[in-house]
């Protein structure tokens, strides 16, 4: 029999720290907790019962009553917040329903704040796209371009309407130049100095927004490439975030999340304020479709996806899985 050589094993064995579940938990570099998650929710004017969104299994357009129940559940689960999107029955060229105190989003804000109080941060999407008949995020010039500065004036009015309704945090998401400064000035000028601003700073013209268009019954004509960012650009996302911080943003956001994890990291390294990332509809729909075919372990993939966004540097994650993830984490 041939004698086996005496070969010393490796001195450094990283696997030692992976030996048991408790040890892996002890040395985990990234945490995923319910308090870091925000649930985006849609409320539609005129509904008598929740309406399923076909391209987003498990997500619905809420009635005002079902929205309140969803917010109460989110508070009970310990989520960090909810982000409200309103869908009006009637739209017009200027998105006037966004400013109307009796508009669906403003009523929903009051409903939810009355239900959850300080137990949950109530956030609102501050943009005109759900309210305009052309589907763009701002008012248009006669030749069909988005008028940046006229849109800013509308955003200021919308911010005040949300503040009067009781909002905790507004999320200007239209990617207009100067939007954070205008919103902050309007809020402060009206005495709403405690209303926070979550700036959608690096929002890309992404193919992954597709299911969201169904969720809000979008009437978009054309595309948004003249104001949302080019997916090829990373440095530009950092520049936008830095500008928003200078203008008074309390948090900044990268949207989408998964295809832009490098931007999340760059922004996290560049700014002194909390960073959010939005795990958007197309990202949700892809995982749900794969799981429905039995191709992946759905629950494990959900938690892995959200952990990856946190690992990239996001302090806050907006995700349609927020409530489910909180339940999974509590097991």
Query: Which of the residues are catalytic?
Result: 203, 255
What number of other Cβ atoms are within 10 A of residue 207's Cβ?
Answer: 10
Instruction: Supply φ then ψ for residue 125, to 5 degrees.
Output: -75, 120
Report the alpha-carbon distance of residue 95 to residue 113 in Å, rounded.
Answer: 24
> Dihedral of CA 75/77/80/82: which sign?
negative
Q: Within 10 A of 86 (CB to CB), how many other CB atoms are there?
A: 23
Strands (E), the chain: 37-44, 51-52, 60-62, 81-87, 121-126, 169-172, 196-203, 251-255, 275-279, 316-319
- Helices (H) and strands (E) in the chain — how many of each? 11, 10
- Could you give the CA distance from residue 207 to residue 135 in angstroms, rounded to a whole number? 16
């Amino acid at each position: 029999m041939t004698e086996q050589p005496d070969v010393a094993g490796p001195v450094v064995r990283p696997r030692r720290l992976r030996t048991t579940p408790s040890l892996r938990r002890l040395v985990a570099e990234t945490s995923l907790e319910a308090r870091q998650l925000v649930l985006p929710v849609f409320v539609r004017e005129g509904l008598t019962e929740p309406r399923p969104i076909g391209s987003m299994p498990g997500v619905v357009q809420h009635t005002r009553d079902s929205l309140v129940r969803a917010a109460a559940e989110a508070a009970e689960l310990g989520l960090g917040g909810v982000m409200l999107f309103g869908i009006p029955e009637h739209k017009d060229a200027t998105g006037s329903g966004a400013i109307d105190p009796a508009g669906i989003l403003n009523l929903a804000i009051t409903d939810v704040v009355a239900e959850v109080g300080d137990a949950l941060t109530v956030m609102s999407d501050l943009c005109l796209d759900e309210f305009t008949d052309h589907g763009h995020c701002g008012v248009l010039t006669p030749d069909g371009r988005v008028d940046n500065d006229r849109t800013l004036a509308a955003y200021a009015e919308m911010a005040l309407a949300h503040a009067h309704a009781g909002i905790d945090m507004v999320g200007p998401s239209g990617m207009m130049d100067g939007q954070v400064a205008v919103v902050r000035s309007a809020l402060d000028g009206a005495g709403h100095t405690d209303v926070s601003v979550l700036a959608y700073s690096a929002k890309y013209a992404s193919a992954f927004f597709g299911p969201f268009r169904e969720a809000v019954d979008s009437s978009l004509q054309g595309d948004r490439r003249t104001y949302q960012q080019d997916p090829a650009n990373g440095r530009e996302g950092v520049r936008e975030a830095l500008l928003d911080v200078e203008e008074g943003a309390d948090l900044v956001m990268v949207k989408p999340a998964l295809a832009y994890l490098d931007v999340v990291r760059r922004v996290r390294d560049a700014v002194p304020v909390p960073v959010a990332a939005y795990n958007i509809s197309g990202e949700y729909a892809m995982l749900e479709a794969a799981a429905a075919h039995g191709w992946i372990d759905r629950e494990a993939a959900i938690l892995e996806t959200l952990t990856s966004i946190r690992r990239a540097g996001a302090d806050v994650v907006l995700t349609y899985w927020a409530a489910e993830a909180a339940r999974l984490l509590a097991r």
